[in-house]
Amino acid sequence: MKRFLAAAGLIGAMVAGMVHMDRYRGFSKPVFIEIPRGTSSLEIGKRLALAGVIRHWSLFPLARVLRPSAGPQAGEYRFAEAATPADVLSRMARGDVYYVELVVPEGADVFDIGEEVERQGLASAEAFIEEAREDEGYLFPSKYQFKRSATPGQIRRAMRAQFDKVWRKIAKGAPSRETVILASLVEKEAVHDSERARIAGVYANRLKIGMKLDADPTVAYAARLDGRWRGTIYKSDLESRNRYNTYVHTGLPPGPIANPGEASLRAALKPEQTTAIYFVAAPDGSGTHVFSETFAAHEQAVAAYRRATR
């Protein structure tokens, strides 16, 4: 009996040693393993061994025996370094699931987001743009985490859900499309939060008197829609008859030109009461603007800006 116990103890020590010390890497580049909900330890072991994450499939069930309370969580896992079976179990027990991080900055439009979606390997830019184009303005800027298998529709819905969440926090009722359009203009023009409401106020003043908005970002967006954006605004862009070009058409463009953040949405909801109807970037390069009530004053501010940037 003593010999049997001694042998059993020796075998147990060997098993524990392999589980905790057999650091293995049987793959040349990172591998991904999907663990569906309810997958048995035996099946997980086979998947891990087949991918070269552990040396033998039996080592994962043995690791579970040694730590019965450490239940693997479902999800996709990425393995890039050598690890012991115990390390692998620990990662799965704490749910260290792999996600692709997608960062959408304030002011990004659907084309910008599509490029980032493609860069992260989630979907082609074309597929995302086709799916999300109608939700321009409502794809809330934030940091998102998606499974590698996420579809363009799932990505779009996550961004729209975040927009709806923020909107409920700052306003009552359904979002006004006009407010979101105005917020998108503010987002593309403003650099400092302190000026967002004032810029919204300038646009509101222009809308009241039927004056064209003359917003450069709308010209750029129109060019993107037409597939002719060249990175800078040309005379032909300013003369484009595209409905988004506010140098040609009065009123707001027919839709948002970018996806505004919370600060710009708040500014559009409550524009500053101002008498200014013009603004141009300040010549000091600070990102602030010079606001004017008359065209003559605006011309002087524009001339100062051009001298400084010449």
pLDDT score at 299: 94
Shared domain for 64 and 132, answered yes or no, is no
CA distance 117 to 138: 17
Shared domain for 154 and 81, answered yes or no, is no
AA identity, residue 76: E
Mean pLDDT of 80-94: 95
Establish if 306 belongs to a structural domain: no
Shared domain for 158 and 201, answered yes or no, is no
What band does 12 get if pLDDT is binned at 50, 70 and 90?
very low
Nearest CA among 278, 287, 262, 281 for reference residue 192: 287
pLDDT score at 79: 96
Does residue 102 register a pLDDT over 90? yes
Shared domain for 131 and 190, answered yes or no, is no
pLDDT in tens, 149-171: 999 999 999 999 999 999 999 99
What's the CATH code of the domain at 148? Answer: 3.30.1490
Last-in-domain residue among 138, 154, 170? 170
Assign 39 to helix, strand or coil.
Answer: coil
Does residue 308 register a pLDDT over 70? yes
Domains identified in the chain, total number: 3
Establish if 304 belongs to a structural domain: no
How crowded is the C-beta side of 127, counted as CA atoms within 13 Å?
Answer: 12
Assign 197 to helix, strand or coil.
Answer: helix
b/e code 259-275 from CB counts within 10 Å (16+ = b): bbbbbbbbbbbebbebe
Establish if 49 belongs to a structural domain: yes
Last-in-domain residue among 93, 121, 146? 93
Identify the domain containing residue 111 by its residue range: 100-170
What band does 4 get if pLDDT is binned at 50, 70 and 90?
very low
In this structure, what token pair is assigned to residue 308?
């400084």
Shared domain for 181 and 268, answered yes or no, is yes
pLDDT above 90 covers what percent of the chain? 90
Q: Are 280 and 216 in contact (CB under 8 A)?
A: no
Nearest CA among 279, 275, 272 for reference residue 301: 279
Establish if 280 belongs to a structural domain: no
pLDDT score at 20: 84
Question: What are the φ/ψ torsions at residue 100 (nearest 5 degrees)?
Answer: -90, 125
pLDDT in tens, 115-125: 999 999 999 99
pLDDT score at 187: 98
Q: Are 183 and 190 in contact (CB under 8 A)?
A: no
Does residue 18 register a pLDDT over 90? no
Shared domain for 163 and 218, answered yes or no, is no
Q: Is the pLDDT higher at 8 or at 146? A: 146
pLDDT score at 5: 42
Question: CA 217 from chain center: how many Å?
Answer: 21
What band does 8 get if pLDDT is binned at 50, 70 and 90?
very low
What's the CATH code of the domain at 76? Answer: 3.30.1490.480
